[in-house]
Amino acid sequence: MKDPAGAVAPAPPPGSGAGSPAPEGEAPTAPLPEHMSGLFSPTRARYLLLVAVLLLAGAFAGQIMHNVLLGSSWGAAMSRCLGEAPTAGTPAEFSDYLQNCTGPAEQRRALVSLAGASVVMALGVACLWVLPLRLLRRAGPMSVASAQWQEHAASVAAEMRVKRVPEVMWGSAWLNQPFTAGRPGRIRIVLPLGVRALPPAQADAILRHEVAHVAAGDVTLVWLTRGVWWALPPVLLVPAAGIVLQVWLQTRRNPLVPTFSHGFLWEYALRAGLLLAVAALVSQLVLRSREHEADLRSVRGRPTAGLEALLAGQPPRTRTWLQRGLANHPATESRLAVLRRAHLPLRVSLLDAAVIGLLSAMAMDAVTNMAETGFTGTPLIPYARLTGALVAGSLLAVGWGVAVWRGILADRAAAPLPRLALLVLGISMAAGLLVQLERTGTAARGSLFGWSLVGTVPLLTLGAGTLSVALARLWGWRRGGPHGSSWGWGAAVGANVALFVGALRIGQDGALFFAALGWSHVIDVIELSGLYSVSAASTALGLGGVALLALRSALRPDHAIGPPGLPGRIPALPGQMPGLPGRIPALPGQEQRINLYAVTLGGVAAAAAVATRWAVEPPLARHNAVYSTQFDWWTAVCAGLVCLVVLLTLHGAGGLGDALYAAPLATILAAGPLWARHATSWHHPWGAAEHYAIGPLAQLALFLLVLAVPAALLPTYRIRQRRATLLGALLTAALTTAAVLALLRSGTGLLELT
């Protein structure tokens, strides 16, 4: 990895010119989008995801060292527990005994693994001082800039809300690029001497760009990422050396031949090299995104002429694809294009999708494995898979979800559905599950739970990404409210977390059931992952939150929300063209009718489902309350599913946004009367109401995630409002009636028999 220089452009050699650091007399331009920092920054989320993957690789090295040093005692503990296990009792009792017996040995293995990650982290933190100091020394003898420069840097820092003002330094005569570096708490901006010969506006642009890096809070994170990258290789070499030493101690012969003839070390070396190469390329990609963000932050609300003139004065450079991949900074023409069309960096590129998918898959599986080891024998063991899904899903929500939302809002929801980026996201997640370091030695059975995880998790993540885009487009077209508010973006992050964590969690459950039951029991897996899942409550809660956000967005169509930094309330002008500020072409009041139309479809689906269920009672449910209840649940699911299908049929991919609130609404409206019919006979009526709400919503969530993938391939249809209302209502009523009748005549095929 190269040291990040944070350069704006090579400075010309010193010459004549006025060296004032601050331009004056220029009218500020319109505000450009302000890139969110902290929790809402996709760039920061990608850095954190990369650091997490590298630390988890160190944890796997620690696990191998545990096997080398303590493998014998661990194996003896496992054998003892299996030998002393009671032969009588239920499978649940046997599992509890085994968990409690093997818990201490497994927890020790987890602690040793964490020690490997801790060593990588400690060395990475140490590099926070070593690597910047090395770069500062390479800059040659430095001198402190004059008080005028220090005061101007303080003024810019105050404008950008930087608490600790960086110190401005002059580099040596051979330094030709400015950069920002330093240990935490003492960051320095090092400028070439040639900056003093630049016109005032260009000199100010360089200083503001460097301060923007400090304001983004990414200087320390960049150096930490590089420090962890440099710390990982020696840690990964320790297990290989331990295996060689172990072979020598056991055989007292040359250990190289028997050691390297074993496939484990070759596979380990290949996967480790691939991880380090991917990490290096990802780091360079994020560095280039960071430069775009610094450019836009530095000129927010100010003239862009100085920075544009500085960039335009650079000679054109031809780069090979390898040079572009390893470059710390984007091409000059790319930076100029971003300055002139500030929404360009807000879009998610194919490379961004590949990176976030690959790293999130690696993080999810590694965290899940470590949690299952460390939680053994504790009350936390049921939450092991949830832990992995929560870590990866949260980073996906910011690194992918928020980035997509910002791009859609920047385009005023007129951008096409990023189908190719979604496909790349799913493919890269499958690749991440297969190539990650933790899978060394297990290639024959694929990823966790065999190959089933490779089939379920990418598919459902694709569905979550599609639903996230649909919700963002609904938000961008119809929602009113203050732009860039903490509540608004907090709700956006929360909705994306619910979508991605839920998708990963359902994917893990589905993989487990597919591995246990086989691919021939698809219906059973669908039920066990949705309606009868142990995590049905959290799934239903997540879908309910997303539906409420979608409904709130749909019922306030008077204004469109703008991206951060642009005017928040932009009225919808009739006939306005897509891509211009505002919304899609619409007649006054048209969107309100569309919203009421989607809600109407949900009501029609619920009414048809309830009426059909009350009219027909299957023979096997007449004297079996358990079967009758399950038929009620599936009837409510049918109402939401038919509403989803009708919206997709009439409007194509454009119906997904409305389906996010109309389909759950149909399910809840159907479940309420079905529960109320037995209200006087329930022993615990409110507990029964909870089951009637949770189970159908959890099953509907699974169907939404799965059907969103083919729905993304559909075009967006436009249909006249009156015709859509009549046709939609008739189609919904007919399909719902047919679906419920088919359900009631299906026997026990969809019922839980135990």
pLDDT of residue 72: 87
Q: How far is CA 564 from CA 35, 37, 230, 488, in A?
A: 7, 11, 36, 11
State whether residue 72 is helix, strand or coil: helix
DSSP result, 558-569:
TEEPPPTTS-S-
Confidence of residue 3 (pLDDT cuts 50, 70, 90): very low
Q: Cα(362)–Cα(385) distance, rounded to whole angstroms? A: 14
Confidence of residue 742 (pLDDT cuts 50, 70, 90): very high
For residues 574-582, average pLDDT: 31
pLDDT of residue 475: 79
Question: Which range among 265-269, 289-293, 621-625, 677-681 has the greatest average pLDDT?
Answer: 265-269
Element (H, E) at 53: helix 42-83
pLDDT of residue 560: 39
For residues 147-174, average pLDDT: 89
| Interval 269-302: pLDDT, tens | 888 888 888 888 888 877 777 887 788 788 877 7
For residues 175-198, average pLDDT: 86
DSSP result, 582-607:
S-SS--TTHHHHHHHHHHHHHHHHHH
| Interval 701-712: pLDDT, tens | 999 999 999 998
- Higher per-residue confidence, 38 vs 357: 357
Which pTM value belongs to this model? Answer: 0.82
Asked if 605 and 641 count as a contact pair (C-beta separation under 8 A), the reply is: no
Question: Which range among 174-183, 506-515, 717-726 has the greatest average pLDDT?
Answer: 506-515
**Is the predicted pLDDT of residue 175 greater than 70, yes or no?**
yes
Q: Domain limits of the chain? A: 38-133+222-365+414-473, 137-219, 589-744
Asked if 314 and 202 count as a contact pair (C-beta separation under 8 A), the reply is: no
Nearest to 302 by CA among 223, 172, 211, 378: 211
Which of 85-89, 317-321, 730-734 shows the lowest mean pLDDT across its residues?
A: 317-321
Torsion sign, CA atoms 296, 302, 308, 310: negative
Q: How far is CA 625 from CA 93, 270, 521, 681, in A?
A: 29, 58, 26, 11
Asked if 385 and 501 count as a contact pair (C-beta separation under 8 A), the reply is: no
pLDDT of residue 33: 42
Q: What is the mean pLDDT of the chain?
A: 79
Give the architecture (CATH level 2) of 137-219. 2-Layer Sandwich (3.30)
Q: Cα(413)–Cα(472) distance, rounded to whole angstroms? A: 8
pLDDT of residue 526: 92
| Interval 50-67: pLDDT, tens | 899 999 999 999 989 988
**Is the predicted pLDDT of residue 6 greater than 60, yes or no?**
no
Asked if 403 and 293 count as a contact pair (C-beta separation under 8 A), the reply is: no
**Is the predicted pLDDT of residue 35 greater than 50, yes or no?**
no
**Is the predicted pLDDT of residue 114 greater than 60, yes or no?**
yes
For residue 742, the tally of other CB atoms under 10 A from its CB is 10
Q: How far is CA 315 from CA 15, 196, 200, 335, in A?
A: 19, 20, 21, 14
pLDDT of residue 23: 44
Beta bridge partners of 181: 188
State whether residue 128 is helix, strand or coil: helix
3-state secondary structure 512-524: HHHHHHCCCCHHH
pLDDT of residue 720: 65
